[in-house]
Amino acid sequence: MNARCAGPLSICLLAAATACGPDEPEDAEAPSYTQTRPSFTARQGSDGTTSIRFTDVTAAAGIDFVHATGAFGEKWMPETMGSGVVVLDYDGDGWPDLFFVNSTGWEGRAEDRGARSALLRNLGDGTYRDVTREAGLDRPIYGMGGAAADYDADGDTDLYVTAVGDNRMYRNDGGRFTDVTAETGTAGNAPGAADPAWSTASGWFDADGDGWLDLLVCNYVDWTPETDLFFTRDGVNKSYATPEEYNGESCRLLRNDPASAGTGGSSAPGARDRTPARRFRDVTTESGLENPDGKSLGIVIDDFTGDGLPDVAIANDTYQNFLYENLGEGNFTDVALDAGVAFDEFGRA
């Protein structure tokens, strides 16, 4: 089952709402959350419109991408999901390129087995060229999303792709990508997990202030083809399940470990003498981000409290949202209830 990509990328936002939490003692000091930067709104005319206009130039730009689901009639839950688009300058020419994340066919099935993600190089004239194969990214993966950053500080933008099953870390080596998932320890699964996770969103940020970019990987529900549940609306035919029927999966915080640089590599950000053996370490539990009930779909990383430290907002599906305040030195605490973003105005997740 395929869907033609018409261009726009959906962004998951957290809506501010009033939370229903336990009463605090009268002498307790409530946390303060104030907006430290100005808000921006588009100027509106008398008819409620703006002068901003968008024109669909997908075809003219040479973007022709088909999203695959691998659907073959069994209605497996991941088939209900779309996938993301990553904007990055992979070749360092100053023009933003596009990486369209794709899914593929299921093991043992013929449907969509040839589907691949697509890297489109910006030619600087409003058009794009497919460079997926020459960039080393023409590999099958049941992809969900991705995030780009220079994790090894060598001057090239690297790429992380989330998926149903093991995620993929692609190191950029001068415009060609190398799969370094195993050697970096970034598959995104919980330590000791029996099955690979179903990862959705991811994001790069310096969680502990050591100058290195760490990786936050958000997971959805505990689903595998072997644990797929049968649901029906008419008592006969199978229908797609909903997330309420599955257990959640905790997001994972992977620390970019300076101690893993190895001999011959530098542990200082910005050094180009880099060994490929650099690894990440799972610090989810010790950081305070462990929550196995989460069913995460989107994340936003920003300094919500204005203290100079990056905080993390996570949007969950049918479960309360998280807002992790950064306490410094890689420690976080969930303040979503106090901040009023855990539930909507009706107390629903």
pLDDT digits (tens, 9 = 90+) for 186-244: 999 999 888 899 999 999 999 999 999 999 999 999 999 999 999 999 999 999 999 99
**Is 213 within the bounds of a domain?**
yes
**pLDDT of residue 19 exceeding 70:** no
The pLDDT assigned to 29 comes to: 53
Pick from 231, 235, 233: nearest CA to 245: 231
pLDDT in tens, 274-311: 455 579 999 999 999 999 999 999 999 999 999 999 99
Instruction: Let me know if residue 19 belongs to a domain.
Output: no
Instruction: Tell which residue, 285, 275, 114, 115, has the closest CA to residue 192.
Output: 285
Question: DSSP class of residue 113?
Answer: T
For 262, which DSSP code? -
Query: Facing residues of 149 across strands?
Result: 158
Percent of the chain scoring above 90 in pLDDT: 76
| Residue 18 resides in a domain | no
pLDDT of residue 282: 97
Token pair 């946390």 is at which residue?
31
Backbone angles phi, psi at 168, to 5 degrees: -130, 130
In a domain, 101, yes or no: yes
pLDDT at 121 over 70: yes
Question: If you average pLDDT over every residue of the chain, what do you get?
Answer: 87
pLDDT band, very low/low/confident/very high, at 161 (cuts 50, 70, 90): very high
Whether the predicted pLDDT of 258 surpasses 60: yes
Q: Which domain does 137 fall in, by range?
A: 73-260+273-297
Is 32 within a domain?
no
Which pLDDT does position 17 carry in this prediction?
A: 32
pLDDT of res. 12: 36
Per-residue pLDDT tens over the stretch 45-63: 677 788 889 999 999 999 9
Q: Are 253 and 207 in contact (CB under 8 A)?
A: yes
In a domain, 325, yes or no: no
Tell me what pLDDT residue 25 has. Answer: 43
Count Cβ neighbours within 10 Å for each residue of 104-125 and write b for 16 or more, e otherwise: bbbeeeebbeebbbbbbbbeee
**pTM of the full predicted structure?**
0.84
pLDDT for 11: 34
Least confident of 96-100, 118-122, 273-277, 313-317: 273-277
State the sign of the Cα–Cα–Cα–Cα dihedral 228, 146, 186, 328: negative
Q: Are 270 and 153 in contact (CB under 8 A)?
A: yes
DSSP string of 324-337, one letter each residue: EEEEETTEEEE-HH
Q: Does residue 37 lie in a domain region?
A: no
Domain count, the chain: 1
Question: 198 burial class (0-12, 13-18, 19+ CB within 10 angstroms)?
Answer: buried
User: For residue 191, which amino acid is it?
Assistant: P
Using alpha carbons, select from 86, 178, 110, 187 the residue that is nearest to residue 139: 178
CA dihedral (300, 304, 309, 311) in degrees, to 10, reads: -40
Q: Is residue 10 part of a domain?
A: no
